[in-house]
Structures are given as structure tokens and as C-alpha cells.
Amino acid sequence: MSDRAAILQSVRSASRALDTSAADIAAEAAALVADRTGVQPGFDGVPLTDRFVAKATSERVTATVDHVAGFDGVPGAVQAYLAHVKRSGPICVQSCAELDGLNWTGMERGATLQEDGGCAVTCAEYGIAETGSVVFRSGAHQPILTNFLPLHHIVILRTSTLLAYPEDLWAHLGGRDAPQSRLLTIVTGTSGTADIEARNVRGAHGPKHMHIVMVAD
Amino acid sequence: MIQTSDRFKEHVARALTDTNLKVALNRTTSLLQTRRKQVVEEYAEYDEARKRAQAIKDHTLKHMAHYLEMFEENATAQGAIVHWAKTPDEARRIVADICVKAEAKTATRVKSMLGEEIGIADALKDAGVERIETDLAEHIIQLAEDPPSHIVMPAMHKTHEQVATLFDDKHGVAPDSHDIPDLVASARRELRQKFLSADVGISGANFLIAETGAIVTVTNEGNSELTCTPPKVHIVTAGIEKIIPGMDHASVFLRLLARAAIGAEITQYTTFYNGPKRDGDADGPEQYHIVLVDNHRTDMLGSDLQPMLRCIRCGACMNHCPVYAAVGGHAYGAVYPGPMGSVLTPALSSLEAAKDLPNACTLNGRCKEVCPVNIPLPDMLRNLRARQWDAKLVSPVAKTALGGWGYLAQRPKLYHLVVGLTVHGMRAWAFGRNRIKRMPFAGGWVKHRDLPRPEKGSFMQQYNASKHGIGRRS
């Protein structure tokens, strides 16, 4: 007998619910999460943007946030951040429709991130207000490593993509029947570790600094 | 790792005299308790979420075959190659074969307890592959050649001074200083190019999502994505109990896991992997394998140990266990230490090989209280003790002591007399001090700690003298 058959047979022989139909199991599973609000941390009345910013900039998440009125303002905000952290040299900007058309004069695009210490600008697909998180997916124009290799990670986030809870995200991604990208990551702040004496330290392997530029749209 | 739980008492004796270990455990466990408490108190919906999580796990375990097949079908449709392994041997063989076929020279690895359980280090060794641990704690213990001592923080037994000495000795470029941030920076420098040049990346899974076929990893360091993206092959090894129905169910667990494990609302990186690189993708592995491992989990299913399959490996039970805090994780001599380990180790090996573990418990109940999926650990440990009694594994001394206690307990007047005299005797023995440093018949107990001087009178004598006492009631 294959290991697969052996495992499934052992599972079945231990089960007392073999005659339940797939539809009934699905209904039972759905009922367990039907009342979302019962388990979602409530923030009634607080606008999504306020909740997002409060969480993202909290002591536990440690990002910084800037606001611009439109995409045209993004290069200026990036330049201001670089000046603030006293960085010069080339930066790695994700190549995508939103960022390619902008005026990057004064900044050198095209850095690779193989060496440590770089700075990258990437577009998040969604923001999650509950935890101050940003969401990235892999794709042709979304190399995942760009979000993990820099020391400074500048995230461009459209305010219209803010969602209250991760449960809302699944609905936006099209549910179980929609094609899924290889990787979907919910990023909350920067790479950290508490592995030595439980002391929280930032910049473990990935970004040490996260700066979120929120674009009003 | 080779299980040495049968030498628990020997390990404990050594642990209790290890001053570095005491410092390391003191610095960590209290901090983790405080952080968890704060973040759970802030989460008003915690009780409901905990109930929900338990119900979801119970539901999934009830329909496990259905969900495992659903997971396999969906993961395969996403391009995964799904393998099944009844035993650790088979799992190791599968991993080694994949590495050999891929002609791999190096493999980066994200910490997973299942990987430790099946001995993934040996699988890679067999395949002639250099193993690079990327989780900071695993990196530390790989350099120190230590086994893990905690399921979330495997290097909890090391002080930062010990880590500094280790990095000075083993890193290509020594740390800039011995401060913790510089130690972290040194590991970053050491590992960076290794991430980018590895042939295989190996991860575990915190959850397997049946409805999409995704596997989920949860890290703070971001080492999972760095491990599983650059190499041409990504291998996932996961226990079959990690299965949950869908994405909405995952949210319930993610909120609880981060709070229970590290006292945060969410970990920095929560990532869903859906298969290999898609056509046109900028990065990602060409091959993606998932190895589903049983290793006695199906034996636990349907038995009184089934609740243990709800475990999400947060480590809260060990962070709150007074025995763990005194002896550390290595004393347990097994992959899983602390209360959850004391239940799991006998199930994964044998009652006899782990006979001291269920007894290394004061039955104070904190482990169950802080468990995010409400596993009745104290009850299960008590059951294991009963099974040991039935299997005649209890030592003659313990048997005699229990017999004596049983004799007294059935004779209340004699019982109260003996307890009263003992208390009186101990108070006299304390010679007016508040602590007792030496005690006849309890030499082991007072070897590494003092006994407090008992209150005046036994519990019953004090109770009867109080306003609630039988003699005082009108």
C-alpha cells in the first residue's frame, strides 16, 4: 500500500463522520466563520486611514508614513525620505505602470539589490487597517525579492485599496476560484527578530526601515 | 535529533546547575509572558476567537480525509507535487531524492518543528547537501551544534554573551560589537549571499489551506520568502494536522498565533505559497514539492490524545510552565519540550521512552489557560500518568509513597493528625527563619531552592478557624 493510501485509510478508520456529504461539510465550515465580527478586533467609527496609520506607525510595527495627493507626488516623497535618512546613490524602483510614467529626475533608478544596504520602492496592492499591513503578490512586474532585500523599503499604497480586515482581502482576490499568484504576502513593518534573549531587533534579514507613501485616489 | 527523554532526571540535574541557562531563561520567559498578556487583554474578542479556533480544528479533524484530499487536489492544480510520508524515514527519503535529482549542493532552510521531527538535517546530509539554517535562532544552534530548546525560539537557552563568543569564532567577519543588534547584523552579513545562491529552499507550513491548496508560513525575520524564492526548488514539509478548511479560517488562527507566540497582533510576514513560479513571473522556484507527514498523528486521531492535534505550535504553554522555566528545553531530551512536548513525545515515541515527562508537571493549569486552542494539557498529562500506572512503569518509591498516601487519605482523622504534625515539625525545623534550606526526606526538593516555612496549622485547621469554618458557622 502506498503511504498516501495508508495515511488516508488510518484517518478514515479513526473518523466517526464518514457519511457526511461534501456539501454538509462545506456548510459546517462556512458556519464556523459566518460571524466575522465576533473575532475581528473592533475599531468602530475610526476611519480606515486613521486606523491604518496608527497601527503602521505604532511601536510594534515601526513604519513611517507620508501622504501625497496623487502619483505625481510620489517621486518628491521618495526624494524627501532619502534626504531625511541621508541616502544617495541609485535606488531600485519596481517597474510597473503606476511608477514608470513618473518623473524620477534627480534620482537614479535601476539599482540591483544583491548587495546589502539598498533602497527599494514597490507598490502594494492592498493595505489592511486592522494591523497596518501591506499586501504584495508575485507576478511578472512584481519580483517578490524587491520587498525583502533592501535595507530601506519604501511602499507606495493607494488609499482606495485600504481594507478593514484580512477577511476582506480574500473576497477582493476573487475567492477560491480565481487564479492565485505563486506568492501572496502580508507584510507588517520590517524584518525583525527576538531570537536573542527575546529582545526585539529590526533588520534581521530583510528591510530595517519601512516608509509608506499613501497616495490619495 | 536523537531522543534522550529517558535521561530526563540526569538532564535536569545538569540544567539546574547551569547558571548561564538560568540567566537565559529568566531574561526570556517573563518578557514573553508580559507581552502576551498585554496583547491578549487588548483583544476584546479573544475568548470568542479561541472558542472558534477550537471548533474549527475539531471540525477539520473530524473530516480530515476529506480536507487532505481537497488540499492535495487544489495544490496539484496550482503546480505542486504532493508527496505523502507515513514515517520520518520515508519523509527524509523523499527530501533527499528531490535534492539529488536537482543536483543540489546547498539548501537554505526556514525553521520548522516538523523538519526537526523528521530529522531533515540527516536527509540533507545523506543527499550530500550543505544545510544553511536561516532563522537566526536556528543559525545560532547550527553553529553551536545544539538541538533546539524551544519550538518558537530554539536558541532560548543561550545568553547574548554566549552567542557573541560563538559568532566571534564562526562568522567570516566577526560582529562589530557584542550588543544584540550587532549580533543580528553579523548574522545578516553572514547569510545574505547564501540566501541568493542556494539550490534548494526548505520550509515548513504553519497552515495548509484545503480550499486553495496554499501553504502558509509565518515569520518575523522574512527568512521564509528569502529562502523559498531564489532557489530553483522549494520543498515544504508539513504534518497532516496543519490542515484547515479555508482562508477565512486562517484569519482566526493568525490572530491567535502571533498573540500567543510572541505577544504581537500579527507577525511581520504572513505568506501564502501557491505553487511554483508562474509563466512570466519575475522570480520564484521552478519546482515546488509538498511532503505531507503522518508520523503517528493518525494514531492520535480518535484517541484521547486527539486534542493535541489542535496544537498550532505557539509555545505559550512552555513560556508559562514553571518546570520549563527552571530546566529549559534540552532537559526534555526531545524535539518538543514543555507541556505540549510532554504529551506529544510519548505519542511520537513510546510511553516508556518518555516516562518522566508526564510527571514533570505541577498540574498548575497555566498551560491550558494560555493555550489558544484550549488543549486540556493537564488532563492529558494526568491520563498519561494513569496509563503509566497501568503499564507498570511507575517506580517502586513512587508506588510506596502513593500507597502510603492512599492509606492516609482513606482515614481522615489520621490524615489530619499526620499533616498537622508535619506542619508543626516543619515550622520548628525552620528555627524562626522564613525559609528552610535543608529538609530530611526532601533533599532533592531543597537542593536547588528553599522551602518556604509553612503557615501555622494545616489547611483544614486554618479553614476551620476562619469565619467560613465548620465550627464557626451558625
pLDDT digits (tens, 9 = 90+) for B167-197: 999 999 999 999 999 999 999 999 999 999 9
Residue carrying the nine cell digits 503499564: B391
ipTM: 0.97
Residue B59 three-state SS:
helix
Residues 29..48 of A with a Cβ closer than 8 Å to B: which?
29, 32-33, 36, 38-42
Answer whether residue A99 is part of any domain. yes
- Residue B474 confidence (pLDDT): 46
pLDDT band at B448 (very low <50, low <70, confident <90, very high): confident
CA distance A83 to chain B (A): 24
Rounded CA separation B236/B209 (Å): 13
Co-location of B57 and B174 in the same domain: yes
**Cβ(B253)–Cβ(B207) below 8 Å:** yes
Q: If you average pLDDT over residues B400-414, what whole number do you get? A: 92
- CB spacing of A183 vs B180 below 8 angstroms: no
Answer whether residue A7 is part of any domain. no
**What cell numbers appear for B471 in the block?**
465550627
- Residue B250 confidence (pLDDT): 97
Q: Is the confidence at residue B128, as pLDDT, over 90? A: yes
Answer whether residue A87 is part of any domain. yes
Q: Is the confidence at residue B472, as pLDDT, over 60? A: no
Residue carrying the nine cell digits 500500500: A1
Range with the poorest average pLDDT among A113-122, B53-62, B335-344, B367-376: A113-122
In this complex, is the C-beta atom of A131 within 8 Å of any C-beta atom belonging to chain B? yes
In this complex, is the C-beta atom of A114 within 8 Å of any C-beta atom belonging to chain B? yes
Q: Strand pairing partners for A152?
A: A119, A209
Answer whether residue B306 is part of any domain. no
Which one of B45, B159, B208, B269 would you mutate to disrupt binding with A, by most A Cβ within 10 Å of its Cβ? Answer: B269
Report the CATH number that the domain containing residue B200 is assigned in CATH: 3.40.50.10420
- CB spacing of A192 vs B255 below 8 angstroms: no
Answer whether residue B315 is part of any domain. no
| Full-model pTM | 0.94
**What cell numbers appear for B282 in the block?**
519575475
CA-wise closest residue to A49 among A127, A134, A151: A127
Stretches in chain A below the pLDDT threshold 50: none
Mean pLDDT of chain B: 94
Give the domain range for residue A79: 46-215
pLDDT band at B312 (very low <50, low <70, confident <90, very high): very high
How far CA B76 is from CA of A117, B64, B94, B367, in Å, comes to 38, 18, 17, 38
Q: Is the confidence at residue B473, as pLDDT, over 70? A: no
Q: Which of B12-26, B265-279, B436-450 has the highest mean pLDDT?
A: B265-279
In this complex, is the C-beta atom of B463 within 8 Å of any C-beta atom belonging to chain A? no
Report the CATH number that the domain containing residue A67 is assigned in CATH: 3.40.50.10420
Q: What percent of chain A has a predicted confidence (pLDDT) above 70?
A: 100
Answer whether residue A12 is part of any domain. no
**Cβ(B126)–Cβ(B149) below 8 Å:** no
Within 13 Å of residue B306, how many CA atoms lie on the same side as its CB? 16
Total structural domains within chain B: 2
Domain termination residue (choose one: B298, B332, B358): B298
Answer whether residue B332 is part of any domain. no
Answer whether residue A34 is part of any domain. no
Residue carrying the nine cell digits 546547575: B17
Domain termination residue (choose one: B277, B298, B319): B298
- Residue B361 confidence (pLDDT): 95
Residues 11..40 of B with a Cβ closer than 8 Å to A: which?
24, 27-28, 31-32
CA distance B249 to chain A (A): 7
- CB spacing of B278 vs A181 below 8 angstroms: yes
In this complex, is the C-beta atom of B420 within 8 Å of any C-beta atom belonging to chain A? no
Q: If you average pLDDT over residues B362-380, what whole number do you get? A: 97
pLDDT tens column, B231-241: 999 999 999 99
Total structural domains within chain A: 1
- Residue B471 confidence (pLDDT): 59
- CB spacing of B221 vs A39 below 8 angstroms: no
Higher pLDDT, B267 or A15: B267
Co-location of B46 and B182 in the same domain: yes
Give the domain range for residue B414: 396-465
Contacts of B239 in chain A (CB under 8 A): none
Co-location of B418 and B285 in the same domain: no
- CB spacing of A7 vs B240 below 8 angstroms: yes
Co-location of B259 and B400 in the same domain: no
